[in-house]
A and B are shown apart, each in its own frame.
Chain A
């Protein structure tokens, strides 16, 4: 798995590539913790290059989403691939997260909320 992070205005983008599962979740967890310390805690996780996700990975994302919402931020998702989208639908996590079809839209949604 590969992890990249960058900053677009006040939004932290995290790009994950490869399997996102119990073995690869810990570094993502750490990155999210750091990103949430930023003010504001605006995080977008881009899942474009993730084709596999398991329950540990899901709980990592949920934990990040809950932490960021506690400090009036949010963790949003974009570019879910079909197998990943299926898991979100099956567990109804698609109702808990704000999910966007592109990174630009996810970032814009943060900016709009700000203005």
Chain B
């Protein structure tokens, strides 16, 4: 803001003041929020003044340039020009600040994503464990070679042998076939062994019982110094049972890890979403406002936002990304940022432009992932009591003019990301005291009850008329309560968002 600009540009301000003083002025003063914050020469009396020009941020006066002494038309024009230039500098630096804060926002999300991928790297090395089991077997039972085989349901067999590469691929094939056709312990020795595996003196094959849906076996080949005797077989059996327990645990751990991954993804999606929603309700002249959002367990991509800027109309938006989970949450944060940046653009673009520009920017990314976002952008001008809006495929939006009939404000353009160009145009409605506008998301209208009926638009319209006398917050809460009651016993499977605007006296 102004004091920061003066601090950073002091020599330039000094040169500006120098020019005035050289031209015969007694003083040059910069005023911010009614207080002089810089003046030249240092002994000047900042309250003495012959010329004053206002400094503006948008439509709000934030300060003055004052000069004492000169009073000619040319001097006035010069001071005016300087004030206009300085105002536009303030405006730009202000815009830069808002863009910077959005960048910081985005960076925070990226960091959260990075943390997630780091924690997911701590995976168990399943194959390494199988190898260790095989090599322990070789050492304890004293055999030339041993192998462990595991098959998780629907996946190919995993085989680890010790010593490494002890068997030729075709031997492994035959061993696999043998494991699959034999459901019980198998001991091959002498002729029988040599017939099936030319270089085997003997083979002990032990299927391993695993409770979870996986198959496993331990195989021992060529007992050192002779045949497998009863104590060898007992020892091998004990190792197999131990191996079974370890495999069981490892599989369980992997399953938990999968679940933890999913869980983390859900939580992250929810965090991304909740962090980006406004934390307060705005105070708007002529409007009683209330908005809130309830994320579903499997997060969807709902969002709402508003923009209040001195001298600009009050701008609000509600959007819904198609799809669910982390991808929807990330696209939601992107869409919200783009809309925010476009709406902040100078000077206060209308809803139609915000929607059109956002569509241009997001179209390619959305096409890449075959998703889209329904978006409603509204602007309320307190003095004229007019509401301007653009609706890109969003529903339900309900408008209730006091004493009249509630009706849906239909979209005139498709959702953002579907077509390269947006068709949405500015629509205009009067917004008088008692009028109600509800911008909700389909999580509300598409809530199901246990009979598989949908809440639907008709119930929402009736409900709006019945609730219209209440405050914005009461209307929102009653809407949620009624929908909850309707869908009692059914889990909420989509985000629900409600924004209520109600006209009030100024």
Contacts and interface: CB of A to CB of B under 8 A. Distances in A.
Interface in A55-101: 55, 58-59, 62-63, 66-67, 70, 89-93, 95-96
Instruction: Determine the interface band of chain B, counting residues with CB < 8 A from chain A.
Output: 20 to 34
Nearest to A65: B418
A90 B408 contact: yes
Nearest to B443: A55
A5 interface: no
Given A55-B442, A55-B446, A70-B367, A95 B372 contact: no
A90 B413 contact: no
Contacts of B418: 62, 66, 93, 96
Give the interface centre of B323, B418, B423, B493 by most chain A CB atoms within 10 Å.
B418
Contact of B413 (A54, A55, A92): A92
Interface string B481-504: 000000000000100000000000
A39 B454 CA distance: 39
Interface in A22-81: 22, 52, 54-55, 58-59, 62-63, 66-67, 70
A96 B414 contact: yes
A67 B446 contact: no
A34 to B, nearest CB: 15
B365 to A, nearest CB: 12
Interface of B: 322-323, 367, 370-372, 374, 392-395, 408, 410-415, 418-419, 423, 442, 446, 454, 493
Given A66-B370, A70-B367, A95-B423, A89 B410 contact: yes
Main secondary structure of the interface of A (DSSP, over half): helix
10 contacts: A55-B322, A62-B322, A62-B372, A89-B410, A90-B411, A91-B393, A91-B414, A92-B413, A92-B415, A93-B418
Given A66-B370, A91-B393, 13 more contacts: A22-B446, A54-B446, A58-B322, A59-B372, A90-B408, A90-B410, A91-B411, A92-B411, A92-B412, A93-B415, A95-B413, A95-B419, A96-B418
A62 B370 contact: yes
Interface string A1-38: 00000000000000000000010000000000000000
Nearest to A66: B370
Nearest to A22: B493
A98 B413 CA distance: 15
Contacts of A62: 322, 370, 372, 415, 418
**CB-based closest 4 A-B pairs:** A59-B322, A63-B370, A92-B411, A96-B414
A91 B419 contact: no
Nearest to A67: B370
Contacts of A66: 367, 370, 418
Given A89-B410, A90-B408, A95-B413, A63 B393 contact: no
Contacts of B392: 92
B223 to A, nearest CB: 53
Contacts of A89: 410
Contacts of B412: 92
A22 B91 CA distance: 47
A63 B368 CA distance: 10
A93 B414 contact: yes
A59 B370 CA distance: 9
